[in-house]
Amino acid sequence: MSDAPFLSLEKLTLAYGDTVAVKDLDLSIRKGELVAFLGPSGCGKTTTMRSIAGLLSPASGAIKLDGADITRVSANKRSVGLVFQSYALFPHLTVFENVAFGLRLKKLPAAEIESRVTAGLKSVGLSNFSARKPGELSGGQQQRVALARSMVMEPKVLLLDEPLSNLDARLRLEMRTELQRVQKETGVTMIFVTHDQGEALSLADRIVVMLNGAIEQIGTPEDIYNRPISRFVADFVGFENIFAVEGGKLKAGNGPIDLSGSLPPDTAGLAWRPRMVTLGSGPFQGTVRGASFSGSTREYLLDTPLGAIKAEEDAALAARETGSAIAFDLPVEKAARLKKFG
């Protein structure tokens, strides 16, 4: 993996007629990287992918791939593969012919086509299905055919639009490993779209969190999970106690609250996961409003002058009674510091 950008999007703006779907997007991806686009529905993930593939031409900005400006290169000459969410297999062709489709267009010798398709089908575990039609395959199998069809083309970048969303939980896990293995084996640069933070965290080298057609945060899974920089990302990855900070003071229900530790001046907010809240001691007082047991932990909902607080404790500890008063702390050193709150 070299440090020079392999694929870069520069000030990319994408629009459908007058509706701007993605605005001024800057992103660069290294060769061999596995990147996840994560974000809520309608934030522009598919739109961005389609423009990288060449199916949508940008209103402004540039796309560069492997040292060349491909902004105006047509989709069939880009060496970018796209696995569609709906698979988009050709219903009239067998599995073998689906995978061979692009190779035949390249006019490769028949023997080479044969061997590449066979290898491609083998790598997704579908060697025995080459004579079937797509209609005779399960969803997961169709998806793997679509993957093989793109992979045999040896694209410079492989894009996958929600590759796992149509699968049941077990298959999803299986395909996750599959994708990771294929990516590691071939070293192909890969971008995949997902709604699911767990999927992004476990698969990606880097995660791009998008919101309303712009990038909210880019970082490693650790960055995103532990150091979200905005309220949106914090909320998205499970920080449930989020407060704005103004002038070094926490903005809470009953007015500003002084914090013990010191904060960098650009702190716009602080966020704590339920398990970061200290229960039983601390400067704040609250009442237990409800509790729920989830196997290894117990989660409490507290009524406090700061507003509702969610806290979590090891289930091995004694349960706290609903209605009882409790002291607690929000330790500043554990909190995620948000630079953007809004």
Partner 1 sequence: MTPRIFTPLVLFLVIGFLIGPFFIIVAASLSGGETLAFPPQGFSLKWVAKVFTVESFQESFAISMLLAIGGTAAALVLGVPASYALSRYKLPFGETIRTIVSLPIIVPGIIVGLALLRYIVVPFGLNITLTLFLAHTALVLPYAVRVVSASLNNLRSDIEEAAVLLGSSRAGAFFRVVMPNIRSGILAAFILGFVTSFNQVPVSLFLSGPGVRTLPIDMLSYMEITYDPSVAALSALLAFMSIGIVFLAERFLGFSRYV
Non-local (6+) Cβ contacts of 96 within 8 A are: 117, 121, 130, 131
249 to each of 52, 259, 260, 306, 332, how far by Cα in Å? 44, 6, 10, 12, 11
Residue 21 touches ligand ATP, criterion: CB under 6 A: yes
For ligand ATP, the closer of residues 86 and 177 by Cβ is: 86
d(CA 150, CA 80): 9
Select from ligand ATP, partner 1, Mg ion, none the partner in contact with residue 81, using the beta carbon and a kind-dependent cut-off of 5 to 8 Å.
partner 1
Q: Compute the least distance from the CB of residue 14 to partner 1, in Å.
A: 16
- How far separated are the first and last CA of the chain, in Å rounded? 36
Of 43-51, 240-248, 284-292, 308-316, which part binds ligand ATP (CB under 6 A)?
43-51
For partner 1, the closer of residues 15 and 214 by Cβ is: 15
Size of site (CB under 6 A) for ligand ATP: 12
Non-local (6+) Cβ contacts of 106 within 8 A are: none
Select from Mg ion, partner 1, ligand ATP, none the partner in contact with residue 16, using the beta carbon and a kind-dependent cut-off of 5 to 8 Å.
ligand ATP
Residue 48 touches Mg ion, criterion: CB under 5 A: no
Applying CB under 8 A, which residues contact partner 1?
53-55, 75-78, 80-82, 84, 86, 88-92, 101-102, 105-106, 149-150, 153
For ligand ATP, the closer of residues 204 and 271 by Cβ is: 204
Strands (E), the chain: 5-16, 19-30, 34-38, 60-65, 68-69, 80-83, 157-160, 189-194, 206-211, 214-219, 241-246, 249-252, 255-258, 269-272, 278-293, 297-304, 307-314, 325-329, 336-338
Instruction: Return the residues of window 190-249 that contact ligand ATP according to CB under 6 A.
Output: 195
User: Coil, strand, or helix at residue 137?
Assistant: coil
For ligand ATP, the closer of residues 15 and 315 by Cβ is: 15
For partner 1, the closer of residues 59 and 252 by Cβ is: 59
Residue 98 touches Mg ion, criterion: CB under 5 A: no
d(CA 311, CA 237): 16
> For binding to ligand ATP (CB under 6 A), which residues are involved?
16, 19, 21, 39, 41-47, 195
> For binding to Mg ion (CB under 5 A), which residues are involved?
46
